Every structure is written in structure tokens, then in C-alpha cells.
Structure 1
Amino acid sequence: MIRLAANLSMLFNEHAFIDRFAAAAEAGFKGVEYLFPYAFAAEELRHALAEAQLEQVLFNLPPGDWDAGERGLASLPGREGEFRDSLIEGLRYAETLNCPRIHAIAGLLPQGADADTVAEHHAIYISNLRYAAREAAKVGRDILIEPINTRDMPGFFLSRQAQAMAVLEEVGADNVKLQFDLYHCQIMDGDLLRHLERQFSAIGHIQIAGVPTRHEPDVGEVHYPALFERMGTLGYSGWVGCEYRPQAETRAGLGWGKPWGLTDR
């Protein structure tokens, strides 16, 4: 059975953030994810999860200066100390929220980056991921990496599935896994079923959205029921994060999820 998690950074924005937990539970979600927890005390979020009887399934490490346009620290030269501090903070929240996995956001390349600059970012990325893997393993957590499409996020260091798989092989840690976002994959690589099959053993989390508009999964060019069916036959037992922007009020657009336990009433 597919287990759906609501991304509270995108869904239920008609509610204050803390109230989105209860709204997600009322709509039939059993788990939640979001971009960042750090604007709230970990105990406040833990209480919201407990009250709504939800599981925290994913969040991101601190991204650097998000408001200034930074999109992660993991590949940024000269920011290794800040990345390690962000890991400490992320793991602290993960322990309180009983969250088994956190995403180490790769970060942006400078505009016009040459081959030497790309190689430098790659080396830093591998080193930081190996460090994160060791620290996360001490407390039983997984580190995820996610290829993000360069249409939505120009200059993002990690953008292709093959690149991500090569990184995982080079890092060589059992607790560093692929965050397989089907929306990003469709835009950059396509061939979703084959990527799902080829990469299945490396996948630690899956996310979905309609392509190309990032609205509900039943809007656009991707037929998610076929992908869900294949996940089932492959034996996927993880979560599927619903990381999309509703076209209107969130609940009104949940009809697509009725076969998997959601309700639009």
C-alpha cells in the first residue's frame, strides 16, 4: 500500500503552519514532510505530530541563507564548517521528531562555473556527505541526496539521476540514499519507470507532483497510478511525499488520492 506524506511547505497553506498538521491528518495523510523545521522549537513540532498522530518522514538540513538565494551548503567550497554545524542542528531536530532521514541540499554552482569549479564542488560534496554519513549513522539516521531540475533551480549542483547514482557509489555509505523526486526526474531525464526500476535499491524516499506545472499529481503529463503500481510490485515500503502546489484550496484537489486513503471532504 502506498503511504502518502503531505509536504506542509506546499500543502494546506490556507492554514497557519502548526495547524497544517491537523489538517493533513483530517485529509487522510499519515506522514508529513516539509522544507525546514528551524523556525519552530523542536518540542512544539513534536507536540503537533503527536496531537495529529502523524509521522515525521523528512526535512532538509539548514540551507544557508535561503532568503538571499542560497540553496544548500553540501557542495560549497569554504563552507565546510557551516555544513557541519547545520548537520548537528538537523540531527538534533531529527532525534526530537523521530525523523529517520534528512536531505543534505547540494547547493548552487556559481554562474558560468568552469570544469575546475565543478570538480571542486564535487570533491567538497563527496567529503561532506561522507562526514554526514558517519555522524548520522551514530544516531541511526539516513542522509538523502536529491537531483533538482535546473529549470526551477538554475545552477543547482546535482540535477541528473546518473550524477546522483555516481555520487552515491563514490560516497559508499549504506545510509546515504536517493531522494527520488519524480517531478524533477521527468523534467531532466524522463523515462520514469526505468529510472525507478534501475535505481530502486538506492531509493530512500520518493516525491511526486504534476508535470510541468507542479500542481496535483493528476494534472499534466505523468500517469502516477502506473508508477504507484510499479512501486508496489517492486516492494517499495517507504513514503511518497506530496510536494506539489495545489491549484486552489488543498482539500479540494485531493480527489486524485482517494484510492490511497485521502479524502477531499
Structure 2
Amino acid sequence: MTTAPASTDSPFTLAASAEMLYLDRPFTERVGRIAERGFQVEIWDWSGKDIAGLAATGATFSSMTGYLEGNLTDPDGIDALLATARKSLVVAAQMDCPRLNLHGTGLDGKGLPVRPVETVTPAMWLTAVDTLRRIAALGEEADRVFTLENLNVAVDHPGTPFARAADTLALVRAVDSPHLRMNLDLYHAQIGEGNLVELTRQALPYVGEIQVADVPGRCEPGTGEIHYPAVARALHGAGYTGVIALEGWARQDSDAALDAFRAAFTTHQDEGAPA
């Protein structure tokens, strides 16, 4: 299927994850196709990818994973997190990627925490804030932004500490640096907390980007229970003009998934323009 890039009057910058779309193509071709469709591109673990080849596609990269291993609270894990964050910053410079994504702990290939945590103690909270201050300092030195992503523990990431949107927001607020922001993932938030419109209003002062997919299934908007045009109106009404990224699977066809995503976050959709 061939689809020309569509014009859009979206008030947001739209991006899509090359990890989850066009899965029948080599990775570099996925990136190129997303860019051809007029979207910025997001990637996960960069360590096994052809960075020069990705940069040569001409795509604009919005976000990439900002570490390879480590965590926020364990001494050895902190050292690993900081060391691989530094390596990630080098790659981000090669790709001109402004945002580097973090989680509450390192995740394995199935999205499960390498070191699950049953109870997060007050001491762990304090240590996590200190670690994230050090991460923000690295971002400031490199003129990049690290983002801390909320996850859900009910379906995709059981045992991950600092996973809820309320947790990631609290940590980002505590650090209070423009080089550490929140990656507000509304798919995860719907599973874990719900009340998405109010959540976005509370979080927006600290948001570096927003990621979306529908629930259940983690596919494009319109395939599940979240009414994303209403979320789009609320975001526009609150003055958000930043990145919204599709981090979801295509229900059937990747071009159609991108069309549905664009439509959900374009101002003429559903009951007129966002208020």
C-alpha cells in the first residue's frame, strides 16, 4: 500500500515509533517510511542499530532510549545508568535527537524489570531524586532533555518501581529541571490510573512529550476505549503544542494506523476544533 504524506492542521508535533510499525520491513526502511508520511520518528534501544544509516534517512528523530542498563536506586545500578546515559548522549548528538527516555528501572526484552521491586521505600524515593538530578545535569551539559516515562504494572510491566504517572510526575517535580521532563504515556496511564484529561492538565508543566495508544491492545486511536479526539481538544485548550507520539501497534495496516493517529490529533476532527 502506498500513501502520500497527508497535510495536517494538527497543532501538535506528531511522531511515531519505528519499533512498532512496518514490522515486515528492515528497521532503517521503517524509519524512512514514517518520515515519508510526515511524522518524526522515535526509537528504543540504539545499541544494535545502524546509527549512521538511520541518520542518513533524513528523518527527524524525536526520542530514543537514554540508557542501556541500570536503575535509580541501587549503587551499582546508578553507576550503570549514568554511564550508559553518557553513551546515549553521544548517539543522540549523532542523530540530532533532543529527548532521551528513561524508566524507573532497567527493562528486559519483554518489558519486564531486570530487578523487580515489590515495595518502594522512602529511602528509595530520596535516592531516585538524587540520581535524576545527576541525570538532569548530564542533560544540561549536552543540551538534551531526559524524559521519565510512566508505565503500567497491571499488564505490561509488573514489578517496575516508580511506574505510575503520579510517581513519575512526583519525581520530575522534585528535580524541577528543564533537562528532566515527564514522558506522559496515556496508554499506560489509562490502564493504571485513568482520568486522562485531568492527568494531562496536572502534568503539562512538566511534560517533555506525550505518547499514545488505545486500550486494550495498544494499537492506534479508534481501536479501543480512549476517545483521543477529546484528549486532543483538552491538550490544545491547555496550550500544549509539543510532541505527541504513537507508540502502538498497527491493528492491521501501518499506513492506516498512522492515518487514524493523525486524524485523532487534527483540529477538525470530532465536534469541531479543540476548544
Answer yes or no: same fold by TM over 0.5.
yes
- Show structure 1 runs of 4+ deviating over 4 A: 109-112
Aligned to 2:168: 164
User: What SS does the aligned partner of 1:213 have?
Assistant: coil
- Once residues 112 and 95 of structure 1 are traced to their aligned partners in structure 2, the CA distance between those partners, rounded to angstroms, is 33
* Distance verdict in 2 for CA 1:92–1:20, change over 3 Å: same
Q: Answer whether contact 1:212 1:220 (CA < 8 A) is retained.
A: yes
Q: Which digits, 9 at most, give the CA deviation of each residue in 1:193-214, with x for residues without a partner?
A: 0011111111110000011210
Work out which of the residue numbers 63, 68, 83 in structure 2 matches 1:58: 63
Work out which of the residue numbers 119, 124, 130 in structure 2 matches 1:127: 130
Work out which of the residue numbers 111, 136, 139 in structure 2 matches 1:136: 139
TM-score, normalised to structure 2, is 0.83
* Distance verdict in 2 for CA 1:29–1:6, change over 3 Å: farther
* Distance verdict in 2 for CA 1:186–1:113, change over 3 Å: closer
- Once residues 97 and 251 of structure 2 are traced to their aligned partners in structure 1, the CA distance between those partners, rounded to angstroms, is 29
User: What SS does the aligned partner of 1:18 have?
Assistant: helix
Unaligned runs of at least 5 residues, structure 1 = 65-71
TM-score, normalised to structure 1, is 0.86
Q: Answer whether contact 1:74 1:104 (CA < 8 A) is retained.
A: no
Work out which of the residue numbers 32, 45, 57 in structure 1 matches 2:41: 32
Deviation at 1:111, TM superposition (A): 5.0
Deviation at 1:47, TM superposition (A): 0.9
Q: Answer whether contact 1:7 1:242 (CA < 8 A) is retained.
A: yes
Deviation at 1:120, TM superposition (A): 4.6
Q: Answer whether contact 2:31 2:54 (CA < 8 A) is retained.
A: no
Q: Which digits, 9 at most, give the CA deviation of each residue in 1:211-252, with x for residues without a partner?
A: 121011111110011111222222212111100011223124
Give the alignment of 1:1-265 within 5 angstroms: 1-26=11-36, 28-48=37-57, 50=58, 54-64=59-69, 73-107=71-105, 108=113, 110-111=115-116, 113-114=118-119, 118-151=121-154, 152-259=156-263
> Residue 86 of structure 2 aligns to which amino acid in structure 1?
I
Q: Answer whether contact 1:76 1:125 (CA < 8 A) is retained.
A: no
Q: Answer whether contact 1:7 1:243 (CA < 8 A) is retained.
A: yes
- Once residues 83 and 16 of structure 2 are traced to their aligned partners in structure 1, the CA distance between those partners, rounded to angstroms, is 28
Q: Percent identity, please.
A: 25
CA RMSD of aligned residues (A): 2.0
